[in-house]
Amino acid sequence: MDAKDFIEFGKASLEFIVNYNDTIRNRNVLPSVQPGFLKEKLPAEAPEVGETWQEVLKDVKEIIVPGITHWNSPNFHAYFPCGTSYPAIIGELMCAGLSTLSFSWMSSPAVSELEDLTMNWLGRAIGLPEQFLSDTGKGGRGMLESSASETTMICLLAAKTRTLRRIKTESPHLDHENLESKLVAYTSEEANSSVEKAGVLGSMKMKLLPAQDDGSLNYLILINEILKDIEIGLIPCYMVANIGTTGTCAFDNLTEIGHVCRAFDIWLHVDAAYAGGAFVCPEYRYLMNGVGYVDSFNFNPHKWLLTNYDCSALWVQHSHDLIETFQHESFDLTHAKENEKYEYKNWQIAQGRRFRALKLWFVMRMYGVEGLQDHIQEAIALAKKFEDYVNGDERFEIVTPRSLGLICFRMKGEDALTQDLLKRLMRRKIIYVISATHRGRLMIRFAVCTANTTEADIEFAWKEITEQSDMVLQCSCHQPSR
């Protein structure tokens, strides 16, 4: 492909993207395809001879797009948002276009330094205390990883190193052979499944402690468990607190849990994957009171801050903890030690890192902090509107109080009604919501997800829900509920 062709391909692709987004309301949010559909439409082998971009783009339009779920349809209310914006899309393109990567400072100075700078911008924008920011010289540091799941895992490994090192120093006579198998981690049963998985992958027992009715973890339950574990010779090591659970967007109390973790020398990691984005608005920062006590804090700009997947922000208070875990000298790289501060390979699992900061930097510059605040506030205002609809209809009930942009509700009465409603909504594919259970009761999660969702879209979703619930109640298979 020559340069002229490349530019034509690029223009046609950008036009396609704009058109796709402009007309996204015309499509069902869920595709109508069956498993294996793609195999029937595409050949089993790659072409012998290269094809033209026109042929490729045609297949994107005719075969690929009909098979995708439209995460940025304003009728998408499932899960949590999948961030995107035009600045972020171009940032992603630019990342590929510059095609550079960094593992040490000289491997690409601007990649390393822009990531450092952008993480300080973002940290300040969400009101993180200065001990997390690298330019305050207090030992803290931010970086971008691929996912919240990965950061939970990275910090678990760092916690393991830190704890083992401490014990070996404090008690040099202990049998160090078996120490690793005694390490134990804690989180609440409301944690994202990726937290439990980090325990499995990191070979550390992850205890899922019972949450309270509001979805938060009571620190007394944590203390109790820690004391019991110490009693039987286990070593408390790692705790993952939830700031905005996936199920109901519940918040643990970081001050209380932070005190417990300090007292027992436990690494405290915060999973704020979705809710962290809201902290660009000062009025929501009370939800992370006590953040000064945590060792590591993570949230996903690729959820609520308009930046394309993947972009997960991680800050640590003591960056040497990560280095002690991930630094691994090998002879072929010893020449590349110009600047310890930017040796990103010493902070993570992979050796190289892509230029992720670019898209986030584009977003922060072009929206500004005020633009990001507007985005969050608009989503929350729309969620309140939906909440009002639910409260105004006596056939429905709110299950847990609205939290930021998430409403959890159900049809009053037996679960079968809500189940039937969900089934009808899924079959129609016009709006997309998912179910969850809370305290043994089935509910529907409704999240305001996209930047182009309007009041009319919320009204549209409510109309779809109430029309389908009429059908549910008319159905002879259900007894009328009281």
Residues of this chain that bind ligand PLP (CB under 6 A) = 80, 147-149, 192, 194, 244-246, 271, 273-274, 300, 312
Q: Contact 290/94 with Cβ under 8 angstroms?
A: no
Number of helical H runs and strand E runs in the chain:
15, 11
Closest contact distance (angstroms) between CB of 302 and ligand PLP is 7
Closer residue to ligand PLP in complex, CB, 80/219: 80
67 backbone dihedrals φ, ψ, rounded to 5°:
-105, 10
Nearest residue to 78 via CA among 452, 429, 460, 459: 429
Closest contact distance (angstroms) between CB of 122 and ligand PLP is 16
Closest contact distance (angstroms) between CB of 404 and ligand PLP is 12
Closest contact distance (angstroms) between CB of 396 and ligand PLP is 24
Closer residue to ligand PLP in complex, CB, 75/149: 149
Closer residue to ligand PLP in complex, CB, 104/277: 277
Distance CA 408, CA 357 (A): 34
Closer residue to ligand PLP in complex, CB, 80/297: 80
Distance CA 142, CA 113 (A): 11
**DSSP string for residues in 324-385:** HHH----GGGTT--S-GGG-GGGGSSSS-B--THHHHHHHHHHHHHHHHHHHHHHHHHHHHH
Q: Contact 84/452 with Cβ under 8 angstroms?
A: no
Closest contact distance (angstroms) between CB of 297 and ligand PLP is 13
Who's near 93: CB < 8 A, 6+ residues apart?
A: none
The sign of the dihedral angle between the CA atoms of 460, 465, 468, 469 is negative
Closer residue to ligand PLP in complex, CB, 229/252: 252
Distance CA 356, CA 367 (A): 18
Closest contact distance (angstroms) between CB of 309 and ligand PLP is 8
Closer residue to ligand PLP in complex, CB, 112/146: 146
Number of other CB atoms surrounding residue 21 within 10 Å: 17
Who's near 286: CB < 8 A, 6+ residues apart?
A: none
Closest contact distance (angstroms) between CB of 146 and ligand PLP is 7
Closer residue to ligand PLP in complex, CB, 244/405: 244
Distance CA 307, CA 362 (A): 9
**Angle, alpha carbons 414-417-421 (nearest 5°):** 155
Judge residue 127's burial from the number of C-beta atoms within 10 Å of its C-beta, 0-12 exposed, 13-18 middle, 19 or more buried: middle
5 preceded by cis ω (within 30°)? no
Closest contact distance (angstroms) between CB of 79 and ligand PLP is 7
Distance CA 322, CA 325 (A): 5
Nearest residue to 236 via CA among 245, 247, 225: 225
How many Cα atoms are found within 13 Å in the side-chain-facing hemisphere of 101? 8
Closest contact distance (angstroms) between CB of 307 and ligand PLP is 12
Closest contact distance (angstroms) between CB of 471 and ligand PLP is 32
